[in-house]
Chains A and B, each alone.
Chain A
Amino acid sequence: MRVHFTVNGRPQEADDVWEGESLLYVLRERLGLPGSKNACEQGECGSCTVRLDGLPVCSCLVAAGQVEGREVVTVEGLADFAKQRAEHGGCASGACGTSLQDAREWAAEGHDSQTGEGTELSPVQQAFIDAGAVQCGFCTPGLLVAADEMLERHPNPTDADIREALSGNLCRCTGYEKIMDAVRLAAARQGEAV
């Protein structure tokens, strides 16, 4: 089958998709977006977390056909997504998500993917690097998407809020302490910026 949907603000079309293929497979193997990770492919680890019409989902559990006509944001588009959100006034109320309308109007900007140098990062991405929250990095994309979504809803979270929001994302390297540091840091920087 053929599936049309929007990824990081750009219309995409995937051909010859099998009925059994997941959104994760289509992103990784057909659209050249391997940032969403394949740690368990059974919805237990969160490494494949993407935003689907604004909501965080495990893309391994979404059939590709289900995303027809819908909006997907992956880690590859996270920096531009966050920038766009900030330019639209951010989210200080603690109760706003990304509206479908906003998601549709938004488009990622391209950048050089060879070295990563000069790449503009979202606050949560920068915080993960600064706090030492990245080791092997395989859980990182899913955690970033989930943490960014949590901070969008909840700009001043308690530790218990952070743990609850990220409880669907497994990490095997860090013991989560530096991830906690990173999310606190991103929240603090976000607070200073407002």
Chain B
Amino acid sequence: MPSNGAPIGTPTKVTQGSKTKGGIGESTLRPDGTLKVTGEFAYSSDMWHEDMLWGQILRSTVAHAEIVSIDTIEALALPGVYAVMTYDDLPTDVKNYGLEIQDTPVLAHGRVRHHGEPVAIVAADHPETARRAAAKIKVEYRDLPVITDEASATAPDAILIHENRDDHHVGHVPHPNIVHRQPIIRGDVEEAAKNADFVVRGEYTFGMQDQAFLGPESGLAVPDEDGGVHLYIATQWLHSDLRQIAPVLGLPESKVRMTLSGVGGAFGGREDLSMQIHACLLALRTGKPVKIVYNRFESFFGHVHRHPAKLYYEHGATKDGKLTHLKARIVLDGGAYASASPAVVGNAASLGAGPYVIDNVDIEAIALYTNNPPCGAMRGFGAVQACFAYEAQMDKLADKVGMDRVAFRQLNAMEQGTVMPTGQAVDSPAPVAELLRRVKAMPMPPEQQWLAAGEAADVRQLPGGLSNTTHGEGVVRGVGYAVGIKNVGFSEGFDDYSTARVRMEVVGGEPVATVHTAMAEVGQGGVTVHAQIARTELGVAQVTIKPADTQVGSAGSTSASRQTYVTGGAVRNSCELVREKVLEIGRRKFGSYHPAWATAELLLEGGKVVTDGGEVLADLVDVLEGEFVEVEAEWRHRPTEAFDLRTGQGFGHVQYTFAAHRAVVEVDTELGLVKVIELACAQDVGKALNPLSVIGQIQGGTTQGLGVAVMEEIIVDPKTAKVRNPSFTDYLIPTILDTPTIPVDVLELADDHAPYGLRGVGEAPTLSSTPAVLAAIRDATGLELNRTPVRPEHLTGTA
């Protein structure tokens, strides 16, 4: 057995399980695991139907242009082609869609605003025929000047990306090419700056990251006999899709039936619609099932990306190391359409100070409209970019003060009761200093004696790897730390509810619970957790998880680290309502046999009704004989409120979550190659409902943070706003050779406001991973490195 890896299959921290086997706190295995390892799990791209056609989208080859003409005659004449549709063929007056602002055309009308915008769609009997037909559509463009940055977007004579805006942000933005602006003002920054013995300023650049989920955008639309359509789709939120799709089709929502098919990862990239409306339009036009599957090239154009950002930060500290003030300006590039930009702005602003006590804060965050690719949700959602900047600042400031970098952070770390710059007091554990202590206390990976090993050195463990570029010459090691803060759930007053339908009955002589939600399982393991919750609450062994669809109420989005909290909360709530009804039946049937039915606290455990003292009153099979109980109920977390538009004050977030990282890197300073040796993480999860899945989330999020530290960036040509690297050949994500061991220390400090005390897990590890790696590279090289990702030329001085 290899000795340097984590112990096999054992979580770092084992939590206490419930009395019913397979309940919360246990590392139960995925219910979809067998189907996924045998290749039989049906992803959206695996759908197939008799007489199915293939859809293809024609996308703009330029970023900003007027459309002079579109000629579809040759495409329509190609044998095997069933339909070609453009803007003129849209069936209703609703021709735009969008998550919050309906500014995104289903098909371009008169103008394209970014490279790769959908212009026309084709259905044919073979995907290659559809591609060839799309290539035969002649589109004449008249180029317009491209807007690519803040200066060009806000110039006095700047062409407006969207004319006649009527969204509810336009009234408070300084320029119509700014989607949303959120200031956060607290204390008196100018006055506080006078007390600063040290001030550090930095300008930081965060590159455009892609979610790079592996399952491409895809789905199958099947026309229904009643004139409606049934869409089998990979998405993060069925009901949000439904709300946007139905009006464009001119159908009531009841006639657009949606079933979740297998989702090959999401990470925010499936919050917006991609091919959903196009497939439905073609299916309704042709009367045949239509399947659309993007290839990887198209996928890079088919979903929003993480906002690239420019961040301007000024921090001050006294000579004993206390932070005095923060001035920050965060400019996010939202690209051509709004997507989730307003909410990303709210997050970047409200979390822009990081997990620190700073009484005097002046933050401004904006998102631009430009002709760059549209940007929206990605894991970490605005908090990622800010964390990169404030953590670089913390290192610089600690050095100026002359303190240890971790100790400096711990001195200024927020804790329970700290008031955020928004005025919101943090009312659950905020173990920032403790997480830093834990991650620092983890054993360091051994020093590697490369040069001493000579020819015997295993080049696979060196920068450059199998390229055999060094045996240790020019290789230096560095260590870096970072910590971050992320919100959980939808914020700023959003009605962020979930729905769960739970049924209990006897099947085959056994009590069985059935859980039906519309939650999008995208790989995170929500289906595993729902079954665990039902076992814990209802005391059954057998739980059936029904496929997610729109036959049950909304479960909200699988994003914002919210599903275990909110849909998990809804499942628990519905289970509690079911339990009450089961106990009512029990009292009716058996109440006269034992006084405890009326007097004791009753639980369902191990297939039985028991008192809180452990006395068994009845078998669930006997209680439920000839009966069934079913409840569908919505569940809400506590409400939030909008941030004040001038001051940013407000109870804006449901819950905060924290993670800290330590990165150890080795850098070949001659070639600028980086090898991350280890990336350790400590995170507070409140309560680990499934420890194995929690650790999987932390390791996956950590690795996405590593990617944007050293390799991942969508390169957009600043002259043309065209995407230069839409492929896995040119957009690199970490391979197993790039990814180090990721030891994880899980802390469980309950949040009393949340179900079971849990804290959303998925996003926090993506925040601090990137700045920790950057800090380690700076430590190794002594370079300032104010942008991410770091490329070799930034390390060799040849940029």
* Segment of B55-63, B416-424, B693-701 engaged in the interface with chain A: B693-701
* A86 lies within 8 A of chain B by Cβ: no
Q: Is the CB of A136 within 8 A of B29?
A: no
Across the interface, A37 reaches (CB within 8 A) one of B214, B460, B693, B739, namely B214
**Is A89 part of the binding interface, using a Cβ–Cβ cutoff of 8 Å?**
no
Residue from A18, A41, A130 within 8 A of B128 (CB atoms): A18
Contact of B727 among A42, A160, A185 (CB under 8 A): A42
Q: Is A57 an interface residue (CB 8 A)?
A: no
Query: Which residues from chain A contact B695 at a C-beta distance below 8 Å?
Result: 132, 177-178
A100 within 8 Å of B (CB atoms): no
Within 8 A of A (CB), among B696-739: 696, 699-704, 727-729, 733-737, 739
Q: Is the CB of B700 within 8 A of A137?
A: no
B141 interface residue per 8 A CB criterion = no
- A148-163 near B? 1/0 per residue, CB < 8 Å: 0000000001111011
A75 within 8 A of B: yes
| Contact status B215-A176, CB under 8 Å | no
Q: A residues within 8 A CB of B40?
A: 35, 76, 113, 116
The one of B34, B42, B265, B742 in contact with A172, judged by C-beta atoms closer than 8 angstroms, is: B265
**What distance in Å separates the Cβ of A181 from its nearest Cβ neighbour in chain B?**
5
Contact A188 B1 (CB under 8 A): yes
Task: Answer whether A184 and B36 are a contact pair too, CB < 8 Å, given A38-B45, A40-B296, A173-B265.
Answer: no
CB of B38 to closest CB in A, whole Å? 6
A172 engages B30 (CB within 8 Å)? no
- Chain A: CB-nearest residue to B739: A176
**Would you give the 0/1 interface string for B14-58, flagging 1 where the beta carbon is closer than 8 Å to chain A?**
000000000000010110111111111111011010000000000
A136 touches which of B34, B214, B736, B737 (Cβ 8 Å): B214
Tell me if A179 is interfacial: C-beta within 8 Å of chain B: yes
Q: Which of A137, A179, A181 has the most CB of B within 10 A?
A: A137
**Bound-complex Cα distance A125 to B29 (A):** 13
Q: Given A134-B37, A138-B265 in contact, is the A28-B2 Cβ separation under 8 Å?
A: no
Q: Does B700 contact A173, Cβ atoms closer than 8 Å? A: yes
Contacting A139 at CB < 8 Å: which of B29, B214, B295, B701? B214
From A76, which residue of chain B is reached at the shortest CB distance? B39
A182 CB, nearest partner CB in chain B, Å: 8
The reply on B5 being an interface residue by CB < 8 A is yes
Q: Decide: A44 and B728 in contact? CB cutoff 8 A.
A: yes
Given contacts A137-B36, A170-B733, A184-B5, contact A175 B460 (CB under 8 A): no
Q: Does A158 contact B2, Cβ atoms closer than 8 Å? A: yes
Q: Cβ of B264 < 8 Å from any Cβ of A?
A: yes
Provide the residues of chain B in CB contact with A179, threshold 8 Å. Answer: 736
Find out whether the CB atom of B37 lies under 8 angstroms from the CB atom of A129: yes
- In the complex, A141 has a CB within 8 A of chain B: yes
Shortest distance between the CB of A77 and any CB in chain B (Å): 9
B263 within 8 A of A: yes
Partner of A29, one of B29, B48, B213: B48
B293 interface residue, CB < 8 Å from A? yes
CB–CB A138/B214 < 8 A: yes
- Contact between B5 and A39, CB atoms less than 8 A apart: no
Q: B296, B525, B696: which has the most chain A beta carbons within 10 Å? A: B696
For the complex formed, measure the closest distance between the CB of B712 and the CB atoms of chain A, giving whole angstroms.
11
Evaluate contact between B41 and A178: CB separation under 8 angstroms. Answer: no
B-contact 0/1 string along A31-58, CB 8 Å cutoff: 0111111111110110100000000000
Closest to A145 in B: B39
Q: A79's closest neighbor in chain B, by CB? A: B38
- B39 with A74: CB separation less than 8 A: yes
Q: A45-B728, A138-B264, A159-B2 are in contact. Are A39 and B39 (CB under 8 A)?
A: no
Report yes or no: B735 in contact with A134, Cβ–Cβ below 8 A.
no
Q: Are B736 and A121 in contact (CB under 8 A)?
A: no
**CB <8 Å contact, B737 and A163:** yes
Inter-chain contacts of B739 with A (CB < 8 A): 175-177
Chain A residue with the shortest CB-CB distance to B126:
A18
A47 contact set on B, CB distance < 8 A: 214
In contact, B39 and A132 (Cβ under 8 angstroms) = no
Tell me if A128 counts as interface (CB < 8 A to partner B): yes
Q: Measured between C-beta atoms, what is the minimum distance from A76 to chain B in Å?
A: 5
CA gap between A29 and B128 in the complex, in Å: 13
CA distance A123 to B392 in the complex (A): 46
Question: CB-nearest residue of chain B relative to A125?
Answer: B37
Q: Give the bracket for the number of chain B residues in contact with chain A.
A: 35 or more
With contact pairs A34-B39, A163-B736 given, residues A130 and B9 touching in the complex (Cβ less than 8 Å): yes
Which residue in A140, A160, A174 is a CB contact (below 8 Å) of B699? A174
- Inside 8 A of A162's CB, which chain B residues have their CB? 736
Question: Using an 8 Å CB-CB cutoff, how does the interface string of B216-251 with A read, 1 for contact, 0 for none?
Answer: 100000000000000000000000000000000000
Given contacts A132-B9, A135-B525, A177-B741, contact A125 B213 (CB under 8 A): no
Q: Is A12 an interface residue (CB 8 A)?
A: no
| Chain A nearest Cβ from B294, distance in angstroms | 10
With a cutoff of 8 Å between Cβ atoms, the chain A residues found around residue B293 in the complex are 38
Chain A interface mostly: loop
- A84 CA / B295 CA spacing, docked (Å): 35
Say if the beta carbon of B524 comes within 8 Å of chain A.
yes
A140 to B466, CA, bound (A): 24
Which residues of the other chain, A, contact B461 by a CB distance below 8 angstroms?
Answer: 160
Asked whether, in the complex, the Cβ of B525 is within 8 Å of the Cβ of A144, the reply is no
Neighbouring A residues of B737 by C-beta, 8 Å: 163-164, 167
Chain B residues, Cβ within 8 Å of A185: 8-9
Contact of B214 among A39, A159, A184 (CB under 8 A): A39
* Chain B residues with CB below 8 A from A59, complex form: none
- B4 contacts partner chain A, Cβ-Cβ < 8 Å: yes
Task: Report the minimum CB–CB distance from A8 to chain B (whole Å).
Answer: 11
Cα A40 to Cα B525 with chains together (Å): 24
A170 to chain B, nearest CB (A): 6
- Flag if B295 contacts A130 (CB, 8 Å): no
> Could you tell me the distance in whole angstroms from the C-beta of B740 to the nearest C-beta in chain A?
9
- The smallest beta-carbon distance between B531 and chain A, in angstroms, is 15
List the A residue with the shortest CB-CB distance to B33: A129
Contact A173:B34 (CB < 8 A) given known A39-B215, A39-B264, A159-B5: no
CA distance A179 to B695 in the complex (A): 13
The answer to the question of A131 belonging to the interface, with a C-beta cut-off of 8 Å to chain B, is yes
B522 within 8 A of A: yes
A23 at the interface (CB under 8 A from B): no
A177 and B6 contact, Cβ closer than 8 Å, known pairs A41-B295, A164-B466, A167-B735? yes
Q: Does B523 contact A (CB under 8 A)?
A: yes
In chain A, positions 91-123 with a C-beta closer than 8 Å to chain B are 113, 115-117, 119, 121
Q: Does A72 contact B (CB under 8 A)?
A: no
Q: A179: nearest residue on chain B (CB-CB)?
A: B736
Q: Is residue A180 within 8 Å, beta carbon to beta carbon, of the partner chain?
A: yes
User: Are the CB atoms of B2 and A75 closer together than 8 Å?
Assistant: no
Partner pick for B8 among A20, A126, A128, A188, CB 8 A cutoff: A188
> Does A171 make an interface contact (CB < 8 A)?
yes
A45 to B153, CA, bound (A): 37
User: Closest approach, in angstroms, between the C-beta of A29 and any C-beta of chain B?
Assistant: 7
User: How far is A39 from B262 in the complex, measured between Cα atoms in Å?
Assistant: 13
A129 to chain B, nearest CB (A): 4
Judged by a CB distance under 8 angstroms, whether B692 is at the interface is: yes
Let me know if B36 and A140 touch, CB within 8 A.
yes
In the complex, 14 of the A-B residue pairs with CB atoms within 8 angstroms, ordered by the A residue number, are A18-B126, A20-B128, A37-B43, A74-B39, A75-B37, A116-B38, A129-B29, A137-B32, A138-B265, A163-B736, A170-B728, A175-B699, A175-B742, A185-B8
Beyond A37-B215, A126-B37, list 11 extra A-B contacts (CB 8 Å).
A21-B128, A34-B42, A35-B40, A37-B43, A38-B45, A116-B34, A116-B38, A131-B9, A134-B37, A137-B262, A176-B736
Q: List chain A positions with a Cβ less than 8 A from chain B.
A: 18, 20-21, 28-29, 32-42, 44-45, 47, 74-76, 78-79, 113, 115-117, 119, 121, 125-126, 128-132, 134-141, 144, 157-160, 162-164, 166-181, 184-185, 188
> Which residues on B are within 8 Å of A, measured CB to CB?
1-2, 4-6, 8-9, 27, 29-30, 32-43, 45-46, 48, 126, 128, 211-216, 262-267, 293, 295-297, 458, 460-461, 466, 522-525, 692-693, 695-696, 699-704, 727-729, 733-737, 739, 741-742
